[in-house]
């Protein structure tokens, strides 16, 4: 067991120095570019394809410890290349056609175990969008045979007729970065590669390619220049970060099943596999309470330092020149460069039951967005969406009035909790993927089906930012996740 000195020597004074912190900083600065440097020491398990690998890696570590070190942890492990070889064996796109690898044969034989059918109203909604001038496209990383198998089961055998153009095996996120050629498809085989957008056509489907040429085709096909696009996706790196970092006219909406699994304000959890998606150990996908600091911790030492500053500042001074508690706290902050947590209050505030932080409500700016706008700030969204005075809580599918129980809690004041005071709403988000959604997505929804019952001109909330780039309004729909409004116990008290 490491003592405090050893921990701070390894992880820094604030105990934040870690490869995962470097990973998060890299994502913020460069997006998904250059992620190879982290491949040996850190891997993000992003979707259902590789989630089971988490358990597999844990079992491998246990076995290696038992065989080589009498059950004690080893100093170093080197099994990830073997795991990657196994994943490639399972998921290489050619395995679907030859029924190899284990995964594809099973999903072909029993699609009902893995694929959810869409209700007829969803198909009607897609048709309605096109009838109202929306240009619908699909960009998928899956090869044509596997993607067609899944979509045919979920939407029907004629699913291609619901979209204007479909791109298979897009190889995201590099699809949004590189200028890779498109390939025509002869059945399942890629043929006749070409560059540029001239040979693209509506009512057709292609393989690979790139966003730059596809966007030029959008401008030609819709006669809108510049065009603006909205992209729905569930992979944070490929579908949210990449479009935001490497395109000028493609905004993303994050699709997060965790909203259904964890529950939203006014919407209890109803995901059929919530127990598999929600962990009482790891906590919420969007918020994890910081551990409370005990004796000997950085925060405790900082608090003691502040009190000493107050007491020494009072000696020999007149009443009018004594150092105030707030000034002492400022000195303490400058001295040790410690980021204060939101629950930190002075002794006087605690005794008086007051707080220097006034309750606040999250407002909405008046910016709007639509299908073919001029910029990210003006109107890039397929479904006409706007953030304004008429809040989504006041509107509904039938008459722009929200169905009962759809209160998002966005105007909930930040009332402090006596034992564990933390802000409420989107400002509480502190997990890596939660911060990526908040910073780089326009909205976050639990499922595309949630939009089906709302009219095309419905005004949806967005993650709006102020002039300094700080997010000041929530874009969760139909409501914020409950973890952003309920005060959980800090990990040390669980």
Question: Which residues of the chain fall below pLDDT 70?
Answer: 291-421, 488-494
Among 76, 51, 73, CA closest to 62: 73
CA distance 228 to 373: 6
Q: Do 326 and 332 touch, CB atoms closer than 8 A?
A: no
Q: Which of 384, 366, 312, 363 is nearest to 132 (CA)?
A: 384
pLDDT for 488: 65
Q: What is the DSSP string of 305-353?
A: HHHHHHHHHHTT--GGGSPPHHHHHHHHHHHHT-PPPTT---HHHHHHT
- Asked if 162 contacts 155 with a C-beta cutoff of 8 angstroms, the reply is yes
What pLDDT score was predicted for residue 140? 96
CA distance 126 to 144: 21
Write the DSSP assignment of 238-276 as a string of letters: IIIIHHHHH-SSEEEEEE-HHHHHH-BTTB----TTHHH
- pLDDT of 287 reads 93
pLDDT of residue 410: 42
Determine the Cα–Cα distance for residues 217 and 202; give it in Å rounded to an integer.
Answer: 9
Report the C-alpha gap between 245 and 34 in whole angstroms.
13
Tell which residue, 432, 41, 477, has the closest CA to residue 264: 477
Rounded to whole angstroms, the Cα distance separating 125 from 215 reads 24
- pTM for the model stands at 0.73
Per-residue pLDDT at 316: 42
Cα distances (angstroms) measured from residue 464 to each of 57, 365, 442: 39, 7, 8
Residue 489 confidence (pLDDT)? 60
């Amino acid at each position: 067991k490491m003592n405090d000195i050893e921990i701070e020597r390894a992880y820094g004074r604030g105990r934040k120095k870690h490869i995962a912190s470097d990973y998060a900083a890299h994502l913020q600065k460069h997006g998904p570019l250059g992620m190879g440097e982290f491949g040996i020491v850190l891997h993000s398990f992003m979707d259902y394809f590789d989630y089971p690998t988490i358990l597999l890696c844990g079992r491998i570590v246990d076995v290696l410890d038992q065989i080589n070190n009498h059950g004690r942890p080893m100093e170093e492990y080197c099994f990830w290349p073997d795991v990657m070889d196994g994943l490639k064996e399972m998921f290489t796109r050619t395995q679907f056609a030859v029924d190899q690898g284990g995964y594809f044969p099973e999903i072909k034989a029993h699609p009902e175990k893995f694929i959810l059918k869409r209700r007829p109203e969803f198909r009607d909604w897609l048709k309605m969008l096109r009838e109202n001038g929306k240009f619908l496209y699909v960009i998928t990383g899956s090869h044509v045979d596997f993607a067609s198998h899944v979509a045919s089961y979920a939407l029907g055998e004629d699913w291609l007729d619901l979209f204007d153009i479909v791109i298979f095996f897009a190889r995201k996120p590099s699809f949004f970065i590189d200028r890779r050629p498109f390939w025509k498809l002869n059945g399942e085989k890629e043929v006749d590669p070409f560059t540029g957008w001239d040979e693209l056509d509506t009512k057709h489907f292609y393989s690979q390619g790139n966003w730059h040429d596809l966007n030029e085709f959008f401008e030609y096909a819709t006669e809108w220049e510049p065009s603006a696009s909205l992209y729905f996706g569930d992979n944070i790196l490929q579908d949210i970060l990449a479009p935001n970092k490497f395109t000028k006219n493609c905004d993303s909406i994050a699709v997060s099943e965790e909203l259904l699994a964890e529950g939203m304000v006014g919407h209890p959890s109803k995901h059929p596999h919530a127990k598999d998606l929600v962990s009482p150990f790891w906590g919420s996908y969007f918020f994890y309470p910081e551990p409370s600091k005990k004796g000997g911790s950085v925060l405790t030492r900082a608090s003691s330092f502040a009190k000493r500053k107050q007491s020494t500042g009072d000696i020999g001074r007149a009443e009018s020149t004594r150092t105030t508690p707030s000034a002492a706290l400022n000195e303490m902050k400058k001295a040790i460069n410690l980021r204060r947590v939101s629950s930190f209050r002075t002794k006087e505030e605690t005794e008086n039951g007051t707080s220097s932080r006034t309750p606040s409500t999250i407002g909405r700016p008046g910016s709007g967005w639509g299908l073919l706008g001029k910029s990210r700030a003006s109107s890039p969204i397929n479904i006409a969406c706007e953030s304004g005075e008429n809040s989504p809580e006041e509107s509904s599918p039938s008459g722009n009035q929200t169905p009962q129980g759809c209160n998002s809690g966005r105007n909930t004041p930040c009332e402090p909790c006596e034992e564990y005071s933390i802000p409420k709403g989107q400002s509480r988000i502190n997990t890596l993927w939660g911060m990526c959604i908040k910073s780089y997505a326009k909205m976050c929804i639990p499922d595309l089906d949630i939009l089906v019952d709302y009219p095309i001109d419905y005004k949806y909330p967005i993650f709006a930012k102020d002039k300094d780039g700080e997010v000041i309004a929530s874009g969760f729909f139909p409501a914020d996740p409950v973890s952003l409004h309920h005060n959980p116990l800090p990990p040390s008290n669980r």
